[in-house]
């Protein structure tokens, strides 16, 4: 029998992030995972969002992630072509990792963040997260163990797992259990949280290939991702190692329902723009169905679900894993604050109240985008490859349209920074509505529930680097006496760090003298003076405010 504060089923990117953050917060964790230690995941996710990188920075793993993946000088651009080796129509400039912090010329160059996004495949990302998690005191990872059932009582949960090599039974007893066990989640099924939504949006016949000659055949500058569209096939090709390994997605048309009925080899050649003499080797077949499925709830008692276990959607904007990482970090803080004793059990209700509405919104953005892409693929101009001025004009129009449609998903500022929590029991709302956001756009704001806009402190360092692990009170007016608020927090044992910031350093959205930020940088409260009823504010922060109180 193993014991821990929190047991986690699944050591994918979401389970590993949860384990790392809980350990960072001083909690003990046992993770059970069916895969062997070091066994790579499927070659799926390629984009780690700025918001995830910001959190990986706090957890001390961002630099290692940034240094991995494509070669340092490999452009992270997205290019639109008639085929991978064909004519270039347009390009979204996204800097290579070597210049990622200094090159602000691309459409995401204006982002106010200490950690811009990173393009790295899951096969490189996960081993780094695994090594980091494994090295944390308090984290035990049991590989080759399959969780098969769970039972919960008043004080805790026990999960039963089977050692896949010896067949022996393993029991893990913990205060809380989190299912990060992917789309087929045993934990979700065990708590009876059904998926609802749209089960099929798009089928993609996906193949991971080794093609050493391809890079040399691509005209012009390299790109991380190439969208290829011609009258024969439409697809995407991702550079995986920046040398010889590529992931080729063949987007099937709505009437192509059987993966096996589609000629994989011919499709790959149409997308790459190569003839029958071109050699490539299939490393793996990765066919997948884009869906929009969200669990009806994310919790039952002491058991929670995060990541793909709680939601699946078509990976436009590269946000499936990133949304799961945001789930994990949100839940980790709530669990750790409760386990530390300063937050009531009611704080745990915030996980679903905060994350479920965001999941619904983001999953719909991704689905809407997928539907627009399906429409665009059905309308590829038949003469797009025609030489001469008429062909040029068709390609120019197609290039503009592709850029406009896709820049919002590859530079998805709204998904990173625009989402807000508008119905959290932990946030003291002040009546001002949070500004609406879209996939690509948002308005920076300090309205409670929004992400506190990032800026550089007077010494040039990142605002977020100065945040405390729990709550941080930003004081923009040094003459304000905040001792009563600090005392009230102390009386309830709520960890609160005071951070004085020069008003001139803060951007325009900071209109208030005091802005109280949470561990995840979302604003919990703001004002121009400490509130009269201090204990009621502090009670809200630790989940002890009476239900319905505002
Ligand atoms: C083609 C494609 C491209 C994608 N691109 C992106 C992208 O660019 N950006 C992005 O954010 N997302 C992307 N995604 C989505 C992303 O891959 C997933 O959202 C992400 O892997 C989910 O992580 P997870 O940890 O929740 O689940 P998983 O990665 O599925 O991990 C679950 C883990 O649980 C283990 N497990 C399952 N059952 C048990 C059990 N009973 N006992 C023990 N262990 C168990 C599994 O072995 C696995 O390791 C993409 C998806 C696809 C299909």
pLDDT digits (tens, 9 = 90+) for 290-323: 999 999 999 999 999 999 999 999 988 878 999 9
Ligand 1 nearest-atom number relative to CA 145: 43
Q: In DSSP terms, which residues pair with 451 in a beta bridge? A: 522
Q: In whole angstroms, how far apart are CA 253 and each of 127, 248, 375?
A: 35, 16, 10
C-beta 143 within 6 A of ligand 1:
no
Q: How far apart are CA 487 and CA 497, in angstroms?
A: 12
Structure tokens at 312: 């699946």
Mutate to test the pocket of ligand 1, among 178, 315, 318, 415 (most ligand atoms within 8 A of CB): 315
State pLDDT tens for residues 173-194.
999 999 999 999 999 999 999 9
C-beta 33 within 6 A of ligand 1:
yes
Residue 85 in contact with residue 272, Cβ under 8 Å? yes
Structure tokens at 289: 């169905």
Region label for 272, one of left (φ > 0), alpha (ψ between -120 and 50) or beta (otherwise):
alpha
Tell me the CA–centroid distance for residue 494 and ligand 1, in Å: 35
State pLDDT tens for residues 498-525.
999 999 999 999 999 999 999 999 999 9
Ligand 1 nearest-atom number relative to CA 249: 1
Report the CATH number of the 2-69+120-195+292-364 domain: 3.50.50.60
Q: Scanning the structure block, which residue is given the tokens 């994350």? A: 355
Tell me what pLDDT residue 550 has: 42
State pLDDT tens for residues 432-459.
999 999 999 999 999 999 999 999 999 9
Ligand 1 nearest-atom number relative to CA 47: 8
C-beta 146 within 6 A of ligand 1:
yes
User: Domain residue spans in the chain?
Assistant: 2-69+120-195+292-364, 420-541
Report the CATH number of the 420-541 domain: 3.40.30.120
State pLDDT tens for residues 111-146.
999 999 999 999 999 999 999 999 999 999 999 999
What's the whole-model pTM score? 0.97
Closest CA to 358 of 400, 322, 392: 322
C-beta 316 within 6 A of ligand 1:
no
Task: Tell me which residue has its CA closest to atom 15 in ligand 1.
Answer: 320
Task: Tell me which residue has its CA closest to atom 13 in ligand 1.
Answer: 45
Tell me the CA–centroid distance for residue 339 and ligand 1, in Å: 27
C-beta 291 within 6 A of ligand 1:
no
State pLDDT tens for residues 260-295.
999 999 999 999 999 999 999 999 998 999 999 999
Ligand 1 nearest-atom number relative to CA 206: 1
159 phi/psi in degrees, rounded to 5: -115, 140
| E strand segments, 240-386 | 245-251, 281-285, 288-295, 299-300, 303-305, 311-313
Rounded to 10 degrees, the C-alpha dihedral 496/497/500/505 comes to -100
State pLDDT tens for residues 456-488.
999 999 999 999 999 999 999 999 999 999 999
Give the contacts of 37 (CB within 8 A, at least 6 positions apart).
130, 141, 143, 144
Q: How far apart are CA 93 and CA 63, in angstroms?
A: 22
Tell me the CA–centroid distance for residue 12 and ligand 1, in Å: 6
Ligand 1 nearest-atom number relative to CA 13: 25
């Amino acid at each position: 029998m193993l014991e821990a504060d929190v047991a986690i089923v699944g050591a994918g990117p979401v389970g590993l992030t949860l384990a790392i953050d809980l350990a960072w917060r001083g909690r003990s964790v046992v993770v059970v995972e069916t895969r062997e230690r070091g066994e790579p995941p499927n070659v799926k996710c390629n984009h780690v969002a700025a918001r995830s990188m910001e959190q990986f920075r706090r957890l001390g793993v961002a630099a290692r992630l940034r240094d991995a993946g494509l070669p340092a000088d490999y452009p992270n651009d997205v290019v639109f072509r008639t085929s991978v080796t064909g004519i270039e129509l347009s390009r979204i400039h996204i800097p290579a990792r070597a210049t990622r912090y200094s090159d602000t010329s691309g459409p995401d160059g204006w982002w106010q963040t200490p950690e811009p996004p990173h393009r790295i495949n899951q096969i490189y990302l996960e081993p780094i997260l695994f090594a980091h998690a494994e090295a944390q005191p308090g984290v035990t990872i049991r590989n080759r163990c399959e969780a098969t059932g769970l039972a919960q009582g008043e004080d805790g949960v026990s999960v039963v797992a089977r050692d896949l090599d010896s067949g022996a039974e393993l029991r893990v007893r913990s205060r809380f259990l989190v299912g990060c066990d992917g789309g087929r989640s045993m934990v979700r099924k065990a708590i009876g949280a059904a998926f609802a939504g749209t089960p099929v949006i798009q089928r993609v016949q996906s193949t991971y290939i080794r093609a050493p000659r391809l890079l040399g055949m691509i005209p012009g500058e390299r790109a991380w991702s190439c969208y290829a569209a011609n009258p024969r096939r439409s697809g995407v090709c991702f550079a995986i190692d920046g040398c010889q390994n590529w992931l080729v997605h063949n987007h099937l048309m709505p009437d192509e329902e059987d993966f096996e009925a589609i000629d994989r080899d011919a499709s790959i050649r149409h997308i790459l723009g190569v003839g029958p003499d071109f050699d490539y080797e299939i490393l793996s077949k990765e066919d997948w169905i884009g869906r929009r499925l969200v669990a009806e709830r994310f919790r039952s008692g002491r058991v929670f679900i995060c990541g793909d276990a709680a939601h699946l959607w078509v990976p436009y904007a590269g946000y499936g894993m990133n949304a799961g990482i945001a789930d994990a970090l949100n839940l980790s803080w709530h669990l750790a604050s409760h386990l530390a004793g300063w937050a009531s059990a009611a704080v745990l209700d915030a996980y679903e109240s905060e994350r479920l509405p965001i999941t619904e919104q983001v999953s719909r953005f991704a689905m809407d985008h997928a539907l627009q892409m399906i429409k665009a693929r059905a309308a590829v101009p038949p003469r797009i490859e025609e030489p001469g001025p008429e062909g040029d004009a068709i390609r120019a129009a197609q290039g503009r349209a592709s850029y406009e449609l896709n820049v919002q998903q590859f530079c998805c500022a709204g998904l990173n920074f625009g989402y807000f929590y508008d119905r959290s029991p932990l946030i003291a709302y002040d009546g001002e509505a949070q500004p609406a956001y879209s996939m690509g756009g948002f308005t920076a704001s300090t309205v409670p529930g929004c992400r506190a806009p990032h800026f550089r402190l007077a010494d040039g360092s990142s605002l977020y680097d100065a945040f405390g692990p729990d709550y941080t009170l930003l004081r923009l007016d040094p003459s304000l006496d905040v001792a009563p608020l600090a005392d009230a927090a102390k009386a309830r044992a709520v960890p609160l760090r005071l951070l004085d910031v020069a008003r001139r350093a803060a951007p325009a959205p900071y209109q208030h003298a005091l802005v109280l930020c949470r561990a995840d940088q979302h604003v919990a409260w703001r004002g121009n003076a400490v509130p009269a009823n201090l204990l009621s504010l502090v009670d809200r922060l630790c989940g002890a405010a009476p239900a319905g109180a505002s």
